[in-house]
């Protein structure tokens, strides 16, 4: 069966702080999403933010795909944790391995391939990206197969793509971010697929992010006091524990594209089915 390298972009020290709010590692979120669609696929962790090396005797081309999840870092900050990830992404593309990215992963790939990223002038998007609209290019693209023409998805980001990389197509957008899904061909005959939103997130993850950023959300106008924000986080946790809470799905307008785990992770399942697994059969 295929083996996917999941390249963690969050420094371990930061992840330890996030875990105090109930945030699982990005590796566990991605591995769970992958195995939801294909239980037998292997998943190998690698923290590129901290400069971890591949297992001895292993190269990037030994993997059937590379997945790059979210990160609290900003791609325009030239810290070692950022620059080493740009170098890693370019190495993955040069190896010809299919690459998937969510949020930070999309932004990282964009910069590695020659595009640009900025702080979103429209502000933060959390916890739901509303009315993501599929473009003409996305309508027939396998990445968004079975998605409706407009849908909601879980998200969390301050930054957005300013200029997409060469040889890319924008597959979806919404009012907050004009680029919500992208596909690109690399100079090394490889491919990249990614979303600004987080197909791998769960309602429990959204709850943790809301609570963790309660003070910032008040400062940004999402609420008048932190207790309001914490109460929203509590509702998300309650809905995660009991998905049949119709009162909560109605209150927050959360549809089946998010509530159904298979629907929520559509893009990851499509990438595995149309890119990773066929490539495995050819090798």
Looking at the annotation, which residues are catalytic?
Answer: 103, 198, 200
d(CA 258, CA 262): 9
The alpha carbons of the chain give a radius of gyration, in whole angstroms, of 18
d(CA 119, CA 129): 16
DSSP state at residue 153: E
Peptide bond into 202 cis (omega under 30): no
């Amino acid at each position: 069966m295929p083996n996917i390298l999941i390249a963690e972009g969050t420094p371990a020290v930061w992840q330890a702080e996030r875990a105090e709010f109930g945030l699982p590692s990005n590796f566990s979120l991605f591995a769970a999403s992958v195995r939801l669609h294909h239980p037998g696929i292997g998943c190998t962790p690698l923290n590129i933010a901290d400069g971890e090396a591949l297992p001895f005797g292993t190269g990037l081309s030994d993997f059937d795909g590379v997945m790059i999840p979210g990160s609290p870092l900003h791609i325009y900050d030239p810290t070692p944790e950022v620059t080493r990830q740009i170098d890693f992404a370019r190495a993955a593309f040069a190896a010809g391995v299919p690459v998937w990215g969510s949020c930070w992963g999309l932004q990282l790939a964009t910069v590695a391939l020659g595009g640009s990223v900025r702080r979103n002038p429209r502000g933060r998007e959390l916890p739901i990206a509303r009315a993501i609209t599929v473009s003409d290019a996305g309508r027939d693209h396998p990445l968004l197969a079975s998605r409706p023409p407009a849908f909601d998805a879980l998200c969390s980001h301050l930054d957005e793509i300013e200029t997409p990389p060469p040889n890319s197509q924008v597959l979806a957008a919404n009012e907050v971010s004009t680029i919500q899904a992208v596909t690109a061909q690399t100079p090394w005959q490889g491919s990249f697929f990614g979303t600004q939103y987080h197909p791998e997130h769960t309602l429990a993850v959204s709850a943790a992010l809301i609570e963790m950023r309660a003070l910032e959300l008040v400062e940004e106008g999402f609420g008048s006091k932190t207790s309001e924000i914490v109460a929203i986080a509590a509702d998300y946790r309650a809905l995660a524990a009991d998905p049949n809470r119709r009162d909560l799905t109605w209150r927050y307008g959360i549809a089946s594209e998010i509530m159904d785990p298979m629907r929520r992770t559509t893009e990851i399942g499509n990438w595995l089915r149309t890119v990773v697994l066929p490539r495995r059969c050819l090798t």
